[in-house]
A and B are shown apart, each in its own frame.
Chain A
Amino acid sequence: MKMPEPDATVLARRREIARALNAIVPGEGVIADRDELAVYESDGLTAYRQRPMVAVLPETVEQVSRILAYCNAEGIKVVPRGAGTSLSGGALPLADGVLLCMARFNRILDIDFANRCVVAQPGVTNLGITKAVESEGFYYAPDPSSQIACTIGGNVAENSGGVHCLKYGLTTNNLLGLEMVLIDGTVVRLGGRHLDAGGYDLLGLMTGSEGLLGVITEVTVRILQAPETARALLLGFPTNEAGGNCVAAIIGAGIIPGGMEMMDRAAIHAAEDFVQAGYPLDVESLLIVELDGPEAEVDDLIARISAIAANCGAVTSRASESEEERLKFWAGRKAAFPAVGRISPDYYCMDGTIPRHRLPEVLKRMAEMSARYGLRVANVFHAGDGNLHPLILYDANNPGELENAEAFGAEILRLCVEVGGVLTGEHGVGVEKRDLMGTMFSEADLAQQQRVKCAFDPDSLLNPGKMFPVLHRCAELGRMHISRGQIPFPDLPRF
């Protein structure tokens, strides 16, 4: 993976830059010691490592504004970082860049039950928001598996999802307002406690922009009252086709469950060995369907889905009869990543999305690739929305095996695009999928995206080297190639 060439003149000014930052954030707020910087050298995508030139941990919006204005004036690159759990290298530092850590922005600023929202600093964890409101029965719906660690600012930057997003939406659907600082230090506010901000939807644009457009300093999210009850169904199928058909049949019957997760044989066995969730070991495909709402609704839907599953050839069908049992059904799915981590020295988590009905075909071709690359793969999916997480098992100590796993992963993602899907459902492009963007987008598509970047960050100082395979200069992108000529299609009716 090639990152932008470090700027030698900036590197030579390292001490001076650290001093200037220290004047903005005094004391321990600036880290320039090589050893101390080691903790920041990678995010959740540990295959890539790079120590930043210097890290700064501001505490106030004013400090963030001054840091960015300084870096902008001096032409210094900036990489924002939340908790560093990104799985796409979004928070990977740059050798000649300032790492802007938002960890000290960790306070909830307001809990507004009447308007059903919470205002938080970006470094508050995802789960921290739910914890702050659960005494009144509320929760924050998007629930990435990393929710104890990842920050709400990182969630906005990645538009993170979770198992309940099928019914309750992703981060973007639960966000009401933002405060952010542009690279020139300007502070802008988008939205608030009302709906649909007015003007261009920059709130929607910021969500999933991977730290390339601005630094988020405050987040307002919508909260919901927790459902009265929840029950889960554990359904086992003899083939992936049957499991896939069951998902389609449930949705075809007009039911949108709270969550609908699928695991393949390899994932089922790994999870069962690890946490003994009681999963059947003689099935090819396992589906966990969660229903939430009033008891009358949940019981009714459990009965309906059980009937659908039987029709689709389910060989295992169990409904949770207690909260304990429901959590046990989930335990295996939630532990799927570490479970796979136990059976292999390393694993590489992919994140493509496909139109759901292509699932059997995609799994079949993935199995062929697995044989060809000589690497095992275990699959967990957000089945309701077709978001796949193939986990490629490899051993980084074997020379060439990481590169082999990456090539396998890239081939899976190209397959996702080929069948009508996309490169990433929730983990982001980052550095990881940057060079694959061309499989989904044309030059013109990418140029238009970069013109949006130019509107926010004309010198490309915010998180460069992420998302875009080639960085074009804004002046070049802005140029118009004009060919004056005939009035278009004169023979068509114009009046």
Chain B
Amino acid sequence: MTGIFRPENAAQVVEAVAWAAAEEEPLEVLGRASKRAFGRPVQAGHGLELSGLAGITLYEAEELVLSARAGTPIAEIEAALAEKNQELAFEPPDLGPLLGGEAGAGSIGGVLACNLAGPRRIKAGAARDHFLGVSAVSGRGEAFKSGGRVVKNVTGYDLCKLMAGSYGTLAAMTDVTVKVLPAAEKTRTVLLLGLDDGKALAAMTRALGSAHEVSGAAHLPAALAADSEVSYVREAGGAVTALRVEGTGPSVEYRCAALRRELAELGESEELHDRNSAVFWQEVRDVRPFVTRPERLVWRVSVPPQAGPAVAGALAQGQDALAYYDWGGGLLWLALPPSKDGGHVGLRAALSDCGGHATLVRGPETLRAAVPVFQPQDPAMAALTRRVKDGFDPRRVLNPGRMVAGL
């Protein structure tokens, strides 16, 4: 990269992208650059770093809405929300440490562009579900907006959804508005001990199929549970299956007891209180078990929940794979030893029957340039994706190649 633009307002973003489009000079779009090592490496002569577009511009707690410049640190937003006992309900993971960087370094724009979501995804949705409004600059160098500051809004196409998960390849976001929600008064986590993957899946399925509004359902094998900072998990001496309930005091106590009773036949259970729960779910959210194994490739695999163990089983055959489950079995975090193809062939083959998608979240740059980091699309979807990209960035100046080679 020969230079980095650090615009301080939306007009300067327009100027920079318009220049890039005119000169056909690709730009690497960066929020605060915390997730630069996620996705395919971008070949761009210049960077466009949006960290200068910072600051919360509107926060009305009773309206459940917050607007900020896209480069605002997520930590600043979470701190402002915490003061009013609110949060981003989709529990954005902090992938910094997993990717070999600092914790707490990401921006709100980066979180939205990658459509990140933590364990509460199964109940509260992903970043996309909380993304109400956006102002952005397309690869044509034109500013546009979509959405608004209210939750109920069907005026025009929902371009926020398109921005979420586009990894900066359609437009550079300058301002965003998100829905915020009250934080739970109380949290309890039921721990089931020593279950194998199949039994764990059955337990999570029962819990998620109950009326108890479980807001987290994860399963860690013995080897990974042993690394937890939470003593109850670390000292369990086997696999740990965790079910989280959140809400008001009386409700949480009732639901926690009900879950323990209904799942009693599966054996021993323990419970985590607020503080331990917070630590544990942050470990699950931030992929902590693999932070301490930096040599491994890390894949994030989203599958129908019932397919989780079968996919993990197929992959584990004959190789030294480590895996844990979130989203009740529907999210598989997988750590593989380094290899030439990154394991992508076997992984994608394992998904061909059940459906789903696998993303290489951590791997060396050469590997990320060589194998499809995101799930390959069939020809019809690939063509449609290309046409959508053309509508925003016909000259391929924004993050070219970040998601798919040549796009």
A interface, CB within 8 angstroms of B: 113-116, 137-138, 158-159, 161, 165, 169-170, 172-173, 182, 186-190, 192-205, 207-209, 225-228, 248-249, 251-252, 254-256, 293-297, 299-301, 353-357, 382, 385-387, 420-429, 433, 437, 440-442, 444-449, 451-456, 467, 478, 480, 482-489, 492-495
Contact = CB atoms under 8 A, between A and B. Distances in A.
In the A-B complex, the 8 residue pairs with the closest CB atoms: A204-B161, A297-B251, A198-B357, A254-B182, A425-B152, A451-B391, A193-B304, A455-B387
Task: Specify which of A203, A422, A448, A494 lies most central, judged by the most chain B CB atoms within 10 Å of its CB.
Answer: A448
A484 B403 contact: no
Given A194-B303, A198-B375, A421-B148, A172 B156 contact: no
Contact of B391 (A115, A355, A446, A452): A452
A189 to B, nearest CB: 8
A433 B211 CA distance: 40
Contact of B159 (A186, A254, A293, A452): A452
B250 A196 contact: no
Contact of B156 (A173, A251, A387, A449): A449
Given A196-B115, A251-B64, 7 more contacts: A170-B152, A201-B165, A208-B154, A251-B182, A293-B247, A357-B63, A452-B391
A293 B64 CA distance: 22
Interface residues of B, number: 102
Task: Give the residue among B85, B125, B156 with the most A Cβ atoms within 10 A.
Answer: B156
B304 A188 contact: no
A294 B254 contact: yes
A189 B377 CA distance: 10
A294 B158 CA distance: 35
Given A256-B181, A297-B254, A444-B144, A424 B213 contact: no
A456 B384 contact: yes
B374 interface: yes
Contacts of A228: 211
B398 interface: no
A422 B165 contact: no
B388 A194 contact: no
Interface in B1-48: 3-8, 12, 15-16, 18-19, 21-23
A467 B344 CA distance: 42
24 contacts: A115-B306, A116-B209, A188-B384, A193-B304, A196-B302, A198-B375, A199-B357, A199-B403, A205-B157, A205-B158, A251-B64, A251-B182, A252-B62, A293-B213, A297-B247, A355-B63, A446-B156, A448-B391, A449-B159, A452-B391, A480-B21, A482-B21, A486-B19, A488-B18
Given A194-B302, A204-B162, A449 B146 contact: yes
Contact of B384 (A172, A202, A424, A492): A202
Residue picked from B125, B170, B374, B388, most chain A C-beta under 10 Å:
B388
Contacts, number: 298
A467 B251 contact: no
A448 B380 contact: no
A493 B6 contact: yes
B260 interface: no
A477 B224 CA distance: 53
A159 B158 contact: yes
A301 B384 contact: no
Nearest to B140: A480
Interface in B175-209: 181-183, 185, 205, 208-209
B302 A198 contact: yes
A137 B140 CA distance: 51
Contacts of B220: none
B392 interface: yes
Given A172-B158, A208-B158, A448 B142 contact: yes
A454 B394 CA distance: 13
Contacts of B345: none
Contacts of A137: 211
B362 interface: no
A269 to B, nearest CB: 26
A494 B158 contact: no
A420 B149 CA distance: 7
B323 interface: no
Interface string B345-383: 000000000011101000000000000001101001100
